Structure formats: C-alpha cells, structure tokens
Amino acid sequence: MTTRQVTYDRAYGSLVRTATQSGIEVKPVYTPQDIADIDYERDIGLPGQYPFTRGIYPEMYRNRLWLKAFIVCYATPEETNRAFKEYIAAGQTGLRILTDTTTLSGVDPDHPLARYDIMCNGNPTFALTEYETMLDGIPLEDVDYESANSTPSGSFFTAVFLVGLVEKMGCDIKRLRGTNINDPIQAFILYGTPEFPMDLARRVTTDLIEFGAKYTPRWHPSTPDGYNMRDAGIDTFRELAFCIANIIQYYGDAIKERGVKLDDFRPMVFSTSAESDFFETACKFRALRRMWARIAKERLGATKPDSMKCRIAIRTAANSMYPQKPINNTARVAYQILGAVLGGVQSIDPSGIDEVFGEPSPESRIFELDIQHIIAHELNVPLVADPLAGSYYVEWLTKRIEEGTWKILNEIDAQGGMWAALKSGWLKQQFDIPTINLYKEIEEGKRLIVGVNSFKGEDGAISRAIIDSAYKVPADPKRFGAIDKVKRLRATRDERKVVDSLNELYRATRDGENIVRPAIEAAKAYATVGEMVGAIRMASGYCYDPYEMVQTPPFMKHLEPSANR
C-alpha cells in the first residue's frame, strides 16, 4: 500500500514584509522612548477636546454609535426604494445615494453612448421624478442622506434633487441632514467626465458651499472623496493630504470669494477609506482629527470648537475584496470595520462580500449591518473611547502618519494649491506611480493577498454561493426601458415651465450668479440632468453635449450663442 507523502515546512506562511501597507517601515517593538516627544495634553488629550485626537465626543460611542451607512443603488428607483425600506428595518441609519454611471456622467438615458451603462451601479436619476419614486415613503427631514455621486455634475444634482424634493413635499430644507461628497479635483483624476470643465466645476463647488452655508445648515455641501482616491492605489499620506488640501482649496475659495466662514458649518466631514492594514487604518483617523483641528483653527479661521472637529465617514476598501476564494472577503470587511471603530469614525459604509461580482446582494448588506451589531453588542468594543490610546506603537504610528502627510501638504502648498497641482499634471503622477508599484508588489509576492498570490485554493460551496448571489445588471430590454421613460417624461411635462426654468438657469450661469437655486427650480419643473448640464455649459461657452455626440434640443436652440449654432 502506498501512502501519500507531504512535505512539512515549519516556516510556511511566514511574514514577507516589515512595512505597513503604505510602506512605513516598523520595528519589532515600541517603547516609551519612541513617543518621548509626544505631549499628552498638547497632542492627545481627552476625547471631545482639542485637538480631538481621541475622538470628537467626550463619551464617544456610548452616546451615539457610528452611522451604519451604505450605498443602495439597484437598477430602478422602485427596487431601490424597496431596498432602502428593508435595510432601514435592519438597522441602516445613513442612506447613501448613488446614481447610475450614465447620469453620473452628466447625460440622460437617451444619449447615444448611454446604452452600455444605463442602470449600471445605480438607477438613472435623470429627473426629479426618479427621486420622488426612490424616496417615496421615507422621511426626508432628520434622516442622514449621503451622496456618493462624486463627479462634478453628480454632486451638484444630488444636492439639487434632494433640496427640490424636500421643498416639493412641503418639508423644511433646514432639516435636510447628511453629507454631499463633492470633490471635483478627485473627479478629474478618477472619473474624467467632461460635463463640467475645470472652471465650471470650481465655480459650481463654490456655489454649493455658499448655498449650503445659507440654506441647508445640516446638509454638508462638500466633503472630499478620500475614499475614491485611496481605492485607486495611493498611500495613506496622500489620501489624507489630498483630502485636507481639497478642503483648504474648496472652502478657502468660498471664504475668500463668498464671505462664508468655517464657523457657518457643522463639523467638517472627511470621506476616507478603511483598509486591511489594521493599525495603519485606526491610527490614520487619529492623525486626521489632530491635523484638521490645527488647520481649521490656524489656517481657515475657525473659532468654534465644533468647526475644529471633523466627522469621519469611511467606506471599507473595495479594492481589497477579491473574486478568488470570496469567503475570505467576510474576514477582510469585518476587520476593516473593526479598525474604523477603534479609530473612532462617525459613519461606516462596508463593501459587500460579493461586490466584486456585481452590486451587493440584500443578504450581504444585512450581513454587513450584523457585523457592526456584533462589534457593538458582542465584542463590546464601543464601550470605551479610543481604547488604543497610550500604546507606544499606536501613538508613534499616529505621529508618523501625521508627519508624512504634512510633507505632502507642504508640497501642494508650494505649488499654490490643489487646482494648480491638478493643472500641472503633478497630481496625476501622484496617483499613477503608487498604483503601478502596488500591483507590482503583489505580482512579485512582496505583498501577500490570501487566495490571490498566496494560499490559493479552489472555491467551495460557500464561495460559489457568494459568487452567484451578487445583484447583476438587468437584461438589456429592461435597461433600455429608461430610454422610453425619459422620452415619456419629455412628452408629458409642462414644456413652458421647463423652458422658462432652463432660460433662468442659463441666464444665472451667464451672469455669474449662484446657480444652485435656479437649478432646483428647473429640477422641480422636471428638466433633466442632460438638459440642465447643457444649459449650464452653453451659458459658459461650451457646446450642449459634453461628449459632442448629440445636437442641442430644438426647444433649447434659442439659448445657443449664434457662434455655436
């Protein structure tokens, strides 16, 4: 009888690196000497006290847990509405909106290039009708709405439609809560959609901030999209530096040009990523709070403690989720959430364990909520604020992340800010090189990803079920239904109102006024995203269609300057 022989290697699975995910070389052990230059009162302090390293509330999660917020974006507004209601019943407290890829690009479903992506990654919210259906029966006041639409037009129209809907339903826009991810500089690198060129995107962002300061005190008009930037492959220093520099740019513009003050806003919101590197993730949030407190106070003129606090909204790293042995994604997302909770964040949007195969299925969404309920009620982690504080390693790493981030921030300052860094091409380079290096490290085995470049294996029954459970884009006939829908809307709405409101949007844009209010009025008259983008573009000297594939619609021809006709 022959028996199968195995080789035994005691060292199998040993560590292959001594650096964190962002390449910070670390020692085997840390001692009081490593934090000798950290002053407890000055640099750490109590939660709820400047510089807020340990958190923004004195009792942190005892009084309020983080928001359980994730994107709900199924193919139609009806499906999305049903899903929101199901998830709210299961404990979702932050309602994140994501429109489909077509609308996000600033056009309507009947655009010739739209056929590929209608209903992909969300439902096509091309007009207020779709918001009416999507949020039907869900309270509009005192509910946290977060927008994940982070192209220049995507951010703009989320604000426009939400405010428009609140007003149309007779509710108070002062009680609209939540956050708008609005970060055109990030969008020019990562989306590259051309609907609002740089001059327009910059102006629209300033318009949104000014409008927010005056009319929607609880709806944060502009938070940078650090999550998207990080997910593209940059390190933690750049993620924090670009977020902070973008805020300095956007709010600096609004303070200078529109006379708003940082004190006009609720605490700033930072949208960032929770990665697999556990301590780097937790320490990043501590470093960010400390840095923001100083920048808000010393650079942006904040005088109220609230304006020196930042609320951190995280999404767990989608690029850490792999299709190989997808059961492992359950471990990744759970630890990323735990890292974020230990870092004291205010809002958590986890990846679906099946989202590398499509949109997260309902069961994977409920599972994410349950991970958070388990952390809260079985692990007992949120009982004590900032429990990692005082660890030699944690305090050293927090400081090390802060130092690396200041270095990048100084480079950006030397160039004259983020718009300048974008225009010079410096920013794009900052993205491409680390991304390529990251993938090279994986390819060369210098960074092990379980099931991907190491510890490989076959998918078993559980992994197969995860693969099969993801929500898939509907078949083409259903997707193309959105084309008929937008055509039906055009045929049935009050065209006089549409034309008048688009005329006003055009005029306000041309005359350099704040265009948020006229856009809200156009949205309430059921003008579409494509039409409003067109009016804003034409008033700024650009052609109607950002992709130069369709003509100006006849009813908008009169808006066209004769040179463009």
Instruction: Tell me the C-alpha distance between 416 and 199, whole Å.
Output: 16
Residue 178 beta carbon to other proteins: minimum distance, rounded to whole angstroms: 23
- Residue 88 three-state SS: helix
Residue 380 beta carbon to other proteins: minimum distance, rounded to whole angstroms: 35
Q: Find, among 425, 517, 420, 52, the residue nearest to 270 by Cα.
A: 52
Which residues lie below 8 Å from residue 549, measured CB to CB, with a gap of 6+?
Answer: 111, 112, 113
- Whether the Cβ atoms of residue 253 and residue 304 lie closer than 8 Å to each other: no
Task: Name 269's bridge partners.
Answer: 311
- Closer to other proteins by CB, 193 or 205: give it: 193
Q: Find, among 511, 236, 225, 197, the residue nearest to 397 by Cα.
A: 236
Residue 436 beta carbon to other proteins: minimum distance, rounded to whole angstroms: 5
Instruction: Tell me the C-alpha distance between 46 and 182, whole Å.
Output: 31
Residue 192 beta carbon to other proteins: minimum distance, rounded to whole angstroms: 6
- Whether the Cβ atoms of residue 122 and residue 167 lie closer than 8 Å to each other: no
The two three-digit tokens of residue 284, written as one number: 């990043």
Residue 153 beta carbon to other proteins: minimum distance, rounded to whole angstroms: 12
- Closer to other proteins by CB, 102 or 514: give it: 102
- Closer to other proteins by CB, 467 or 543: give it: 467
Instruction: Tell me the C-alpha distance between 196 and 357, whole Å.
Output: 31
- Closer to other proteins by CB, 198 or 467: give it: 467
- Closer to other proteins by CB, 357 or 396: give it: 357
- Closer to other proteins by CB, 192 or 425: give it: 192
Residue 91 beta carbon to other proteins: minimum distance, rounded to whole angstroms: 28
Residue 116 beta carbon to other proteins: minimum distance, rounded to whole angstroms: 3
Give the type of residue at 341. V
67-72 β-sheet, strand order = 219-223, 177-181, 144-147, 94-97, 67-72, 347-349, 310-316, 268-274
Burial of 71 (0-12, 13-18, 19+ CB in 10 A): buried
Residue 282 beta carbon to other proteins: minimum distance, rounded to whole angstroms: 25
Residue 147 beta carbon to other proteins: minimum distance, rounded to whole angstroms: 16
Contact positions toward other proteins, by CB under 8 A?
101-102, 104-105, 107, 113-117, 120-121, 151, 190-194, 232-233, 319, 322-324, 356-358, 432, 435-436, 439, 443, 449, 452-453, 467, 472-473, 476, 547
Q: What is the largest CA-CA distance in the chain?
A: 92
Core vs surface per residue 103-127: b (16+ CB within 10 A) or e: bbbbbbbbbeebeebbbbbbbbbbb
The two three-digit tokens of residue 423, written as one number: 């225009």
- Whether the Cβ atoms of residue 357 and residue 366 lie closer than 8 Å to each other: no
Instruction: Tell me the C-alpha distance between 331 and 312, whole Å.
Output: 23
Do you know the residue count of the chain? 565
Give the type of residue at 31. T
Question: Helix 236-258 crosses helix 392-415 at what angle (to 10 degrees)?
Answer: 50
Residue 62 beta carbon to other proteins: minimum distance, rounded to whole angstroms: 39
Instruction: Tell me the C-alpha distance between 119 and 290, whole Å.
Output: 41
CB hemisphere CA count around 406 (13 angstroms): 12
- Closer to other proteins by CB, 48 or 474: give it: 474
Residue 7 beta carbon to other proteins: minimum distance, rounded to whole angstroms: 24
Instruction: Tell me the C-alpha distance between 481 and 258, whole Å.
Output: 43
- Closer to other proteins by CB, 67 or 422: give it: 422
Residue 539 beta carbon to other proteins: minimum distance, rounded to whole angstroms: 23
Which residues lie below 8 Å from residue 318, measured CB to CB, with a gap of 6+?
Answer: 231, 351, 355
Task: Name 316's bridge partners.
Answer: 274
Residue 376 beta carbon to other proteins: minimum distance, rounded to whole angstroms: 31
Cis previous bond, 51, omega within 30: yes
- Closer to other proteins by CB, 142 or 432: give it: 432
**Residue 16: count of CB within 10 angstroms of its CB:** 11
- Closer to other proteins by CB, 151 or 307: give it: 151
CB hemisphere CA count around 432 (13 angstroms): 6
Residue 201 beta carbon to other proteins: minimum distance, rounded to whole angstroms: 15
